[in-house]
């Protein structure tokens, strides 16, 4: 009988305890009022730019509003940035490349008509994007395009994307730590659109990407099908020694010619009629006899420029390679004059946006003159071995332009 009474006393105690716990925990979930439930919805980051973050969340039934708090650290001091009845918020005026943390609190009206803040959500992180890099195009061939862009502080790499249409599906084509790259394996005479993003980490070690760079488009050039080797008697050795062979290759030269009478002579018509896709041109040796001064050389360069412009008018896609004048062993042509002229035509190539190629290192002896092993009797022109090496160098250089 005594044991039975003990059980009877224990049962009400357990029931009361369970009721107490139910009321206690219910008070953390339910607001006072019939059937009203309040909880902090999860924050969703829906958009991030260099200086804005857009937040959204699900509406809570019977909520009177929402308070948005922000901090620069996950467990830092959160400050109120918005009091709203909406279910979205755009935070503006933020610093680029910085991580921000957000929490939301739900508000409701209690039984006394007072607005009460309740239930903070877990922190949601958002890292603003870097400022975009500025993208520009460079050299373009039939199969390659060189791109370059501005450097972005704290960027660890750059990702290049391309598409065949401006509003097309952009695909990743290259990743690099440099601020330039050459895209290869492109198709000839095709248009491509490119953009670049910078990728790094914020001070909170969160991954950061920049906004998209400006779009640029390039059109690849036609493949080189016809090549011309143009110049005076030095270049004419390519023909007389039989070094230039094969379809689509032609030597267009005249002995004793300079830039003035090349431009004004019938040989210019021959060149334009051929319409080469690539032209290697070497002119100037005949005008360097007698040590002309700088002003006289400028006159020669002026007609060199006219030759280039005329060729561009005939074929806007032509690749023009200005070749340096070779050193000599002759007393008639001083190497100081050769050096001065080469500096001027190198500058010309830069102005005209064509190529300049100095191939002469293999021809020089220790004194910088034309080596005996490559020179013939006059000390100006070359022997067969020199032309064979010269042709191989031109082929290798041209391959880099394809």
Q: What angle do CA 136, 138, 142 make, to 5 degrees?
A: 130
The 10s digit of each residue's pLDDT in 355-401 is 999 999 999 999 999 999 999 999 999 999 999 999 999 999 999 88
Residue matched to tokens 């002026």? 302
- Location of structure tokens 């910088």: 368
Residues 212 and 231 reside in one and the same domain: no
113 and 205 housed in the same domain: no
Residue 367 domain-assigned (yes or no): yes
By the 8 A CB rule, do 201 and 156 touch? yes
Tally of structural domains, the chain: 4
Which residues fall within 8 angstroms of residue 103, CB to CB, at 6 or more apart? 40, 43, 68, 69, 71, 78, 120, 121, 122, 123, 124
Which of the listed residues 85, 110, 127 is the one where a domain comes to its end? 127
Determine, yes or no, domain membership for 37: no
Q: What is the pLDDT of residue 38?
A: 54
**288 and 335 assigned to the same domain:** yes
Kindly give the parts of the chain with pLDDT less than 50: 1-36
Q: What domain range includes position 332? A: 227-401
User: Is residue 170 within 8 Å of residue 162, measured between CB atoms?
Assistant: yes
Closest CA to 190 of 162, 149, 212: 162
pLDDT of residue 10: 45
Answer with the one of 194, 219, 244 that is the final residue of a domain. Answer: 219
pLDDT at 23 (0 to 100): 36
Kind and range of the H or E element at 233? helix 233-240
In a domain, 38, yes or no: no
| Residue 210, domain member (yes or no) | yes
**CATH number of domain containing 173:** 2.60.40.10
The answer as to whether 289 is a domain residue is yes
Query: Are 160 and 50 members of one domain?
Result: no
Q: What pLDDT was estimated at residue 201? A: 86
**Is 190 in the same domain as 78?**
no
Residues 261 and 371 in one domain: yes
């Amino acid at each position: 009988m005594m044991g039975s009474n003990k059980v009877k006393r224990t049962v009400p105690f357990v029931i009361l305890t369970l009721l107490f716990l139910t009321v206690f925990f219910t008070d953390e979930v339910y607001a006072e009022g019939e059937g009203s439930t309040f909880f902090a919805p999860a924050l969703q980051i829906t958009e991030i730019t260099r200086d804005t973050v857009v937040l959204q969340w699900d509406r809570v039934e019977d909520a009177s509003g929402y308070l948005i708090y922000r901090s620069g650290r996950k467990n830092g001091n959160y400050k109120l940035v918005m009091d709203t009845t909406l279910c979205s918020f755009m935070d503006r005026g933020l610093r680029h490349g910085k991580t921000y943390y957000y929490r939301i609190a739900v508000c409701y009206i209690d039984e006394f008509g007072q607005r009460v803040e309740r239930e903070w959500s877990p922190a949601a992180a958002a890292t603003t994007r870097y400022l975009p890099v500025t993208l520009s195009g460079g050299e373009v061939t039939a199969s390659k395009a060189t791109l370059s862009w501005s450097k972005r502080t704290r960027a660890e790499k750059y990702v290049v994307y391309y598409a065949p249409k401006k509003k097309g599906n952009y695909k990743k084509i290259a990743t690099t730590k440099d601020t330039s790259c050459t895209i290869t394996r492109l198709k000839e005479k095709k248009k491509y659109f490119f953009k670049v993003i910078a990728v790094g980490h914020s001070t909170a070690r969160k991954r950061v990407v920049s906004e998209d760079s400006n779009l640029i488009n390039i059109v690849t050039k036609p493949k080189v099908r016809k090549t011309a080797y143009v110049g005076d008697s030095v270049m004419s050795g390519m023909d007389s020694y039989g070094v230039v062979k094969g379809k689509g290759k032609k030597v267009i030269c005249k002995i004793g010619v300079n830039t003035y009478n090349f431009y004004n002579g019938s040989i210019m018509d021959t060149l334009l009629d051929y319409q080469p896709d690539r032209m290697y041109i070497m002119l100037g040796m005949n005008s360097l006899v007698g040590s002309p001064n700088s002003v006289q050389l400028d006159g020669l360069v002026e007609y060199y420029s006219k030759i280039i412009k005329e060729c561009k008018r005939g074929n806007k896609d032509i690749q023009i390679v200005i070749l340096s004048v070779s050193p000599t062993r002759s007393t008639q042509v001083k190497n100081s004059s050769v050096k001065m002229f080469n500096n001027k035509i190198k500058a010309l190539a830069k102005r005209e946006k064509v190529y300049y190629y100095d191939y002469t290192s293999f021809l020089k002896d220790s004194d910088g003159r034309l080596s005996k092993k490559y020179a013939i009797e006059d000390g100006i022109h070359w022997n067969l071995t020199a032309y064979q090496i010269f042709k191989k160098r031109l082929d290798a250089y041209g391959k880099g332009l394809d």
